[in-house]
């Protein structure tokens, strides 16, 4: 009798490992603590693996000189590139996972303290005492560590395994968090759209509310995909929420990205870490409709509002706009950022909006589909500001003069690509289509202004005078032609049909009422 074929072991998926980690911690700590603890473990795993790989590469390179190899592997100058850090013995993953369970929490917290004190780019990046403060059962922590240890970038053959893991946790916690906890995560396809439109190939990139650093990471991916050199790009940012600030530093440090997020978490408005900085590109997703942002009287006469007007205290949308504009390179700086749709036409910021349009700072307004964010279901707008609408060579394209024009794009119907049952994301093809609309508009007819650039229900180029006639509204639907499908109806037939349905409903209701009255009479009640 033939032997049965041995059952193949079930393939372990990355998402399964990460889900198991979350499941083990279910109900054992506040959400933010679980997030910080898991991401810290993943960080240790990856920096440990990278250290180990570099160490083994040194040993192989100097296999004929073992004594020299031993010296080099303990020399910190042999590391320090591409997010590879020299780690002392007590900070290495292979050491930490072998610690006795009841001592493991302290071992990880001690390792955090060592990294914080000895590696400048990791200063204040990791949460202090996160393992002992959460007081998770020693055996549970050991089980979580064992799960994280299963993550092997060679086994899973991921081009960017680190990015995958960080994105999984950020997305998972955002989906299950309330609005305040979920604000720091910007969906991947939106970040990709912004990067594709403003093309941060070189120079400096800034994000005044950088969250977990996702905008910066996607910028680097964009540069690599287009054959650029990420070493020539430097990123600057700021983040107010301490836990998210730490996460951003972890995220950027482990990828080897050159960054400056300031020495501590702080509000961009009241404690600007980069007050004298001018940058080439800005990518941002500020908190939507932030209230009570003007916490200091010194902001009443701030240099950032000069020439535009004081933003209202009730909503920070235009404070973000003017802050970012103040950071842009005055010659050719370009910014792509998200705002709630209310900023397109709210009355209390009309004067500021008028100044922005009259000074030709707004280049494009793109309304996105609904259900793209985990923390809100509203449709939001992507703004593009550009300090150079005069034209000339830019990223290999000969741009025409676009002064006194704004491109309006409405993508609200592009909601077919659903994931996680309800959330919408843009496909690569859709992102390419938006870029084509934008780039064609920038370059079309370089000898002058295109006579007409529009597709009904999708996009339209609009001149200053028309925008002025609409009281400086930036709502795309006020300029893009939308087909009134109601005009195609046969109103006489429609009204006749509707009237017939109403008569049927009334007749049915009358018959039911009569039956009810008869029933009451049987019971001896005078229902009338």
Residues 77-111 have pLDDT tens digits of: 888 777 789 999 999 999 999 999 999 999 999 99
Banded pLDDT at 36 (limits 50, 70, 90) = confident
Read off the tokens for 220.
């680097």
| Residues 447 and 504 reside in one and the same domain | no
Describe the crossing of helices 66-73 and 31-61 by its angle, rounded to 10 degrees. Answer: 160
Average pLDDT, the chain: 84
Q: How far apart are CA 169 and CA 151, in angstroms?
A: 14
pLDDT at residue 39 is higher than 50: yes
Q: How far apart are CA 351 and CA 2, in angstroms?
A: 85
Domain for residue 168, yes or no? no
Domain for residue 504, yes or no? yes
As a three-state string, the secondary structure of 301-370 is HCHHHCCCCCCCCCCCHHHHHHHHHHHECCCCCEEEEEEEHHHHCCHHHHHHHHHHHHCCCEEEEEECCC
The SS3 call for residue 206 is: strand
| Residues 465 and 501 reside in one and the same domain | no
pLDDT: is 401 or 158 the higher one? 401
Instruction: Say which CATH number the domain at 51 has.
Output: 1.20.1260.30
Domain for residue 9, yes or no? no
Q: How far apart are CA 401 and CA 527, in angstroms?
A: 79
pLDDT at residue 509 is higher than 90: no
Q: How far apart are CA 210 and CA 206, in angstroms?
A: 8
Instruction: Say which CATH number the domain at 194 has.
Output: 3.40.50.150
Q: Minimal CA–CA distance to 18: which of 128, 116, 158, 121?
A: 158
- Cβ-in-10-Å burial (0-12, 13-18, 19+) of 83 comes to middle
Domain count within the chain: 3
Read off the tokens for 510.
């009358």
Predicted local distance difference test score (pLDDT) of residue 488: 45
What is the helix (H) or strand (E) element at residue 103, kind and residue range?
Answer: helix 101-118
| Residues 73 and 199 reside in one and the same domain | no
> What mean pLDDT do residues 424-450 have?
85
| Residues 384 and 365 reside in one and the same domain | yes
| Residues 235 and 279 reside in one and the same domain | yes
Q: Minimal CA–CA distance to 367: which of 386, 350, 344, 335?
A: 344
Percent of the chain with pLDDT over 90: 50
| Residues 456 and 324 reside in one and the same domain | yes
Are 281 and 335 in contact, with CB atoms under 8 Å apart? yes
Domain for residue 169, yes or no? no
Stretch among 34-43, 199-208, 284-293, 425-434 having the lowest mean pLDDT: 34-43
Predicted local distance difference test score (pLDDT) of residue 205: 95
The CA distances from residue 125 to 106, 206, 209, 253, in Å, are 18, 19, 16, 9
Q: How far apart are CA 391 and CA 443, in angstroms?
A: 9
Banded pLDDT at 162 (limits 50, 70, 90) = low
Read off the tokens for 78.
């042999």
As a three-state string, the secondary structure of 446-479 is CCCCCCCCEECCCEEEEEHHHHHHCCCCCCHHHC
Residue where a domain terminates, one of 157, 189, 223: 157
Domain for residue 164, yes or no? no
Q: How far apart are CA 216 and CA 219, in angstroms?
A: 5
pLDDT: is 29 or 474 the higher one? 474
| Residues 205 and 130 reside in one and the same domain | no
In this prediction the pTM is 0.79
Within 10 angstroms of residue 94's Cβ, the number of other Cβ atoms is 13
Stretch among 375-384, 398-407, 471-480 having the lowest mean pLDDT: 375-384
Residue where a domain terminates, one of 157, 187, 215: 157
Q: Phi/psi of residue 204, each to 5°?
A: -120, 140
| Residues 106 and 207 reside in one and the same domain | no
**How do the residues of the chain divide into helix, strand and coil, expressed in percent and rounded to 5?**
50, 10, 40
Domain for residue 171, yes or no? no
What is the helix (H) or strand (E) element at residue 438, kind and residue range?
Answer: helix 428-443
pLDDT at residue 487 is higher than 50: no
What is the helix (H) or strand (E) element at residue 32, kind and residue range?
Answer: helix 31-61
pLDDT tens for 341-373 read 999 999 999 999 999 999 999 999 999 998 888
> What mean pLDDT do residues 51-62 have?
91
| Residues 205 and 110 reside in one and the same domain | no
> What mean pLDDT do residues 176-186 have?
48
| Residues 272 and 319 reside in one and the same domain | yes
> What mean pLDDT do residues 309-333 have?
95
| Residues 278 and 395 reside in one and the same domain | yes
Domain for residue 125, yes or no? yes
Q: How far apart are CA 447 and CA 468, in angstroms?
A: 25
| Residues 215 and 128 reside in one and the same domain | no
Domain for residue 8, yes or no? no
pLDDT: is 457 or 178 the higher one? 457
Task: Give the domain extent around 55.
Answer: 14-157
Residue where a domain terminates, one of 157, 187, 216: 157
Q: Minimal CA–CA distance to 327: which of 397, 197, 238?
A: 238
């Amino acid at each position: 009798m033939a032997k049965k074929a041995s059952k193949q072991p079930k393939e372990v998926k990355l998402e399964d490992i990460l889900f198991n980690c979350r499941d083990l911690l279910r109900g054992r700590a506040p959400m933010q603590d679980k997030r910080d603890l898991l991401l810290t473990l993943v960080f240790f795993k990856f920096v440990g693996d990278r250290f180990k790989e570099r160490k083994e590469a040194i040993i192989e390179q100097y296999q004929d000189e073992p004594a020299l190899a031993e010296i080099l592997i303990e020399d910190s100058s042999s590391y320090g590139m591409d997010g590879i850090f020299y780690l002392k013995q007590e900070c290495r993953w292979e050491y930490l996972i072998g610690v006795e369970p009841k001592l493991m929490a302290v071992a990880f917290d001690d390792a955090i303290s060592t990294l914080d004190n000895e590696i400048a780019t990791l200063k204040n990046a990791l949460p202090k005492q996160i393992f002992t403060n959460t007081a998770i059962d020693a055996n549970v922590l050991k089980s979580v560590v064992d799960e994280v240890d299963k993550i092997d970038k060679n086994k899973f053959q991921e081009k960017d395994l680190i990015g995958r893991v960080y994105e999984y946790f950020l997305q998972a916690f955002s989906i299950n968090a309330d609005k305040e906890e979920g604000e720091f995560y910007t969906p991947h396809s939106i970040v990709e759209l912004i990067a594709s439109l403003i093309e941060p190939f070189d120079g400096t990139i800034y994000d005044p509310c950088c969250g977990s650093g996702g905008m910066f990471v996607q910028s680097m991916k964009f540069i690599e995909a287009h054959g650029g050199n990420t070493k020539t790009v430097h990123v600057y940012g700021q983040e107010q929420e301490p836990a998210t600030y730490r996460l951003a530093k972890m995220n950027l440090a482990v990828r080897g990205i050159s960054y400056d997020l300031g020495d501590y978490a702080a509000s961009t408005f009241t404690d600007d870490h980069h007050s004298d900085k001018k940058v080439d590109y800005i990518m941002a997703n500020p908190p939507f409709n932030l209230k009570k942002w003007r916490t200091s009287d010194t902001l009443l006469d701030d240099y950032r509002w000069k020439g535009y007007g004081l933003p209202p205290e009730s909503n920070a949308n235009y404070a973000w706009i003017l802050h970012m504009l103040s950071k842009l390179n005055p010659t050719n700086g370009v910014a792509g950022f998200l705002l709630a749709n209310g900023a397109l036409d709210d009355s209390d910021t009309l004067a500021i909006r008028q100044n922005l349009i009259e000074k030709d700072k707004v280049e494009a307004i793109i309304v996105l589909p609904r259900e793209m964010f985990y923390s809100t279901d509203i449709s939001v707008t992507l703004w593009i500001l550009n300090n150079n609408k005069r034209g000339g060579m830019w990223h290999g394209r000969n741009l025409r003069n676009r002064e006194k024009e704004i491109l309006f794009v409405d993508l609200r119907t592009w909601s077919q690509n659903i994931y996680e049952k309800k959330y919408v994301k843009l496909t690569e093809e859709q992102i390419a289509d938006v870029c084509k609309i934008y780039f064609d508009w920038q370059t079309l007819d370089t000898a002058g202004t295109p006579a007409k650039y529009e597709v009904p229900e999708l996009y339209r180029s609009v001149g200053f005078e028309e925008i002025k006639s609409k009281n400086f509204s930036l709502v795309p639907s006020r300029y893009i032609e939308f087909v009134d499908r109601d005009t195609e109806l046969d109103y006489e037939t429609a009204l006749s049909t509707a009237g017939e349905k109403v008569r049927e409903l009334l007749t049915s209701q009358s018959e039911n009422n009569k039956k009810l009255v008869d029933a009451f009479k049987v019971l001896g009640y005078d229902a009338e």
